[in-house]
Structure 1
Amino acid sequence: MPPLDDITVIAPHFKRRLSGVTSTVVQLIPEQRRLGRGIVTLGPGLPDDLPKMTWSQLPALWRRPRSAANRVWHARRNNEMLAGILLRDVLRMPLKLLFTSAAQRHHTGYTRWLISRMDAVVATSARSGSFLKVAHTVIRHGIDIDRFHPGESADDAIAATGLPGKYLVGCFGRVRHQKGTDLFVRAMIDLLPRYPDWTAVISGRITAENQGFADQLKADIALAGLSSRIVFLGEVDDIRPWYRRLTLYVAPSRNEGFGLTPLEAMASATACVASDAGAYAELIVEDITGKVVPAGDYARLRDAIAGYLANPAEAIEAGSRGRTHVVENFALVREASALETVYNGLLDDK
């Protein structure tokens, strides 16, 4: 429980379950602290090693930090914006409110009202920014290029998994219709009989409401006689080695906020085929680091995947180019540095 005198940014996290926002906060805050920013989180669902303030410390926010006239309350969800408004406007705490929006849809009237009360707004992509009705800054998410890196050892090869074949193609994330898991499975059922050197892996959480969806996918795989070559891994403790073991990563989402997984894959020197959901089209360089297809278009998705299954050498080259692309354009320090500019503008605003 750190003292708050040198803390200038509060990053609330009002959700217990793992989400894309959680992943962003977990990766970003250590990088922000390395840049010298006094920042803490508030709320559940985050690792113990992240710096946190407690609910009992909230009254301390009435006292200004040593180095600024106020603090920044950096919200990423509606309930976090609302809490900030209450702290600033009702309890009169010296706070500036910042909201980061990843949503790619028209906001409800309630959300628009919340956003209108913010002192500054960040969009995680040009596409998400197009749905905002207020001035904003586009700051795309970055990735920790040291945590996500190309293979370095025998453990990073398909042989370490005990799975058949020479190459792995994977799809990671929650197993559900929104994520397009069914499109990936359908493509694998259609393609793998033609490409015997390839095996497919699926990793991600299956919630109770999506158990029937997952069971049907497994039944379809069994009916096709491919249960040994289309494998559900479940939730794994560390997904990073699996990215390194892949030759091709597929992100077939029908709908997405931002979507970090293509960056994680490319940082691991893995080629990507993705839908144009979320920010995917702003992350992947067409025919250089992978391919982007219209969300929900099964035929285009299958054909894009097939091109790489037929030519693994091209997938390997695209993966190598992907690593270079992420290092040059999406290193986490770029996101942290861009946020520093926004924070400083708010902290300098008396």
Structure 2
Amino acid sequence: MIQKSAPFRSVLFVDHAPVLGGAEQSLLLLLQYLDRAEWQPHLACVPGQLADRAMRAGLPCHLFSLPRLRRSPRFAADGARSARQLARLARQVQANAIYANTVRAALYAAPAARLAKRPFFWHMRDFWLSETKPRHIRADTAVKRLLCASATQVIANSHAVAQQLPCAGKTAVVHNGIEVDKFDPRLDGRPFRAQHGIPEDTPLVGMVGRLRPWKGQLPFLHMATHILRQQPEVYFVVVGGANFAVEDDYARQVTHLAQELGIAGQVVFTGMLDDVRPPLAAMDVFVHPGEPEPFGLVNIEAMAMARPVVAFAHGALPEIVQNNVTGLLTPPGSVPALAEAVIGLLTDDEKRRQMGDNGRRRAETHFTIQRTAREVGKVMQRGVSR
């Protein structure tokens, strides 16, 4: 007997951010790689970089406004109106489920799913409701409990994030993935070095991340001073810029510290780059010096470029970097330990090469977007089949 394949299901994905952060980049890849024989994605988002990229990729994109979170009677009314709009949109596109990509999106998508009588999926990609640890932990936990209770299924992008969620029995861990085949370790890094005045034969240590305090640019510069005392020929590159005006003050603080430490001549600041592959190709060692990350996609990108990763052993990094195999994990917060790990790799070409090769293989087997899309599809399949 020939079995008919199941008809594809439509899903309304919701995101709140106008800028293209890590969560939005992961969402775009997910939408492009979901099996179209099973799923038809629709994206509801605010005008901005995410919407522009989605439309360029040919994804069905529906623009709407989401009120900013604040304590006021008006917010409650605006939030309820946004939830009704999302519910109406879900019916219009005949969505079988509503999927929130962020915490803020979930605050509107959860009531929308209830109004539309659709399953609700919540993808948690952060530790907290805010970007940094909140002052009021109880309030943060209370909102998480509410969203967990509303969700048909919760997806966490790491075990580190899952441990922060009060969603017993509902949480599935699905690591983020990238288009590994688009990262070629053979890419020539010399053009990037020439563009930024970095000698071809000089060791280069780098990091990538938005200019925000928790990304670790300041510890990176302090690490550089430790390294330069032993290896004065090393150069350093900081890839990343500011998305908002409020980040400009921190950017000035970072560049001022490089001058204050007397290392500005050997530190290159590239600003925001659309493509991180050229700087990764130019690096000998990649460093992730920030605070605990819920995931840290750029570490996978560095591994895909066959670059060893040196990072603090906290957050989701131990799930990504295999210590002494694909890189080195050091005690959290210890800048001297971070520096010693980098020096150890710079002085051992074979170890550096082997860790880079191991990282590439790990990216190919564990962190492809194809694998991520399959796993997310399985979670959604279970949810809509209930």
Please report the TM-score for the alignment, with normalisation by the length of structure 2. 0.80
Question: Counterpart in 2 of 1:40?
Answer: 42
Q: Does 1:257 align with 2:259?
A: no
In structure 2, relative to structure 1, the CA distance for the partners of 1:154 and 1:276 (3 Å cut) is closer
How far residue 143 of structure 1 moved from its aligned partner, in angstroms, is: 1.6
Distance 1:64 1:52 in 2: 10
SS for the counterpart of 1:241 is helix
Distance 2:346 2:229 in 1: 11
How far residue 200 of structure 1 moved from its aligned partner, in angstroms, is: 0.5
Candidates 96, 108, 119, aligned match of 1:71? 96
Q: Does 1:176 align with 2:212?
A: yes
Question: Counterpart in 2 of 1:85?
Answer: 110
Distance 2:279 2:38 in 1: 33
The 5 A counterparts of 1:181-330 are: 181-206=217-242, 207-330=244-367
- Retained in 2: the 8 A contact 1:62–1:94? no
AA in 1 matched with 2:339: R
How far residue 219 of structure 1 moved from its aligned partner, in angstroms, is: 3.0
Candidates 114, 118, 140, aligned match of 2:151? 118
Distance 2:150 2:292 in 1: 27
How far residue 286 of structure 1 moved from its aligned partner, in angstroms, is: 0.5
Question: Counterpart in 2 of 1:95?
Answer: 118
Candidates 27, 52, 56, aligned match of 2:60? 52
Question: Counterpart in 1 of 2:183?
Answer: 148
How far residue 157 of structure 1 moved from its aligned partner, in angstroms, is: 6.6
Deviates more, 1:167-176 or 1:36-45: 36-45
Larger helix share, 1 or 2? 2
Unmatched runs of 5 consecutive residues or more in structure 1: none
Deviates more, 1:14-23 or 1:193-202: 193-202
- Retained in 2: the 8 A contact 1:154–1:160? no
Distance 1:55 1:144 in 2: 27
Percentage of pairs with the same residue: 24
- Retained in 1: the 8 A contact 2:188–2:281? no
Question: Counterpart in 1 of 2:131?
Answer: none
How far residue 24 of structure 1 moved from its aligned partner, in angstroms, is: 0.7
How far residue 151 of structure 1 moved from its aligned partner, in angstroms, is: 2.6
Candidates 8, 25, 28, aligned match of 2:27? 25
In structure 2, relative to structure 1, the CA distance for the partners of 1:54 and 1:211 (3 Å cut) is closer
Distance 1:159 1:21 in 2: 32
**Superposition RMSD on alpha carbons, in Å?**
2.5
How far residue 311 of structure 1 moved from its aligned partner, in angstroms, is: 2.4
How far residue 83 of structure 1 moved from its aligned partner, in angstroms, is: 2.1
- Retained in 2: the 8 A contact 1:267–1:323? yes
In structure 2, relative to structure 1, the CA distance for the partners of 1:10 and 1:278 (3 Å cut) is farther
Question: Counterpart in 2 of 1:129?
Answer: 162
- Retained in 2: the 8 A contact 1:123–1:139? yes
In structure 2, relative to structure 1, the CA distance for the partners of 1:326 and 1:154 (3 Å cut) is closer
How far residue 81 of structure 1 moved from its aligned partner, in angstroms, is: 1.7
How far residue 161 of structure 1 moved from its aligned partner, in angstroms, is: 4.5
Deviates more, 1:34-43 or 1:270-279: 34-43
Distance 2:15 2:120 in 1: 14
In structure 2, relative to structure 1, the CA distance for the partners of 1:185 and 1:35 (3 Å cut) is farther
SS for the counterpart of 2:293 is coil
SS for the counterpart of 2:342 is helix
- How many corresponding residue pairs? 339
Post-superposition Cα deviations, 1:106-154, rounded to whole Å, max 9, x if no partner, equal 6431232122110111111112111222221111111210222313346
How far residue 224 of structure 1 moved from its aligned partner, in angstroms, is: 4.1
How far residue 86 of structure 1 moved from its aligned partner, in angstroms, is: 2.5
How far residue 255 of structure 1 moved from its aligned partner, in angstroms, is: 3.0
- Retained in 1: the 8 A contact 2:227–2:340? no
- Retained in 1: the 8 A contact 2:120–2:151? yes
SS for the counterpart of 1:269 is coil
Post-superposition Cα deviations, 1:242-269, rounded to whole Å, max 9, x if no partner, equal 1122111111111322111110100111
In structure 2, relative to structure 1, the CA distance for the partners of 1:233 and 1:342 (3 Å cut) is same
Please report the TM-score for the alignment, with normalisation by the length of structure 1. 0.88
How far residue 94 of structure 1 moved from its aligned partner, in angstroms, is: 4.1
AA in 1 matched with 2:32: P
In structure 2, relative to structure 1, the CA distance for the partners of 1:277 and 1:118 (3 Å cut) is same
Distance 2:347 2:190 in 1: 25
AA in 2 matched with 1:14: H
How far residue 7 of structure 1 moved from its aligned partner, in angstroms, is: 5.5
AA in 2 matched with 1:127: A
Distance 1:205 1:193 in 2: 28
Candidates 62, 66, 72, aligned match of 2:91? 62
- Retained in 2: the 8 A contact 1:189–1:221? no
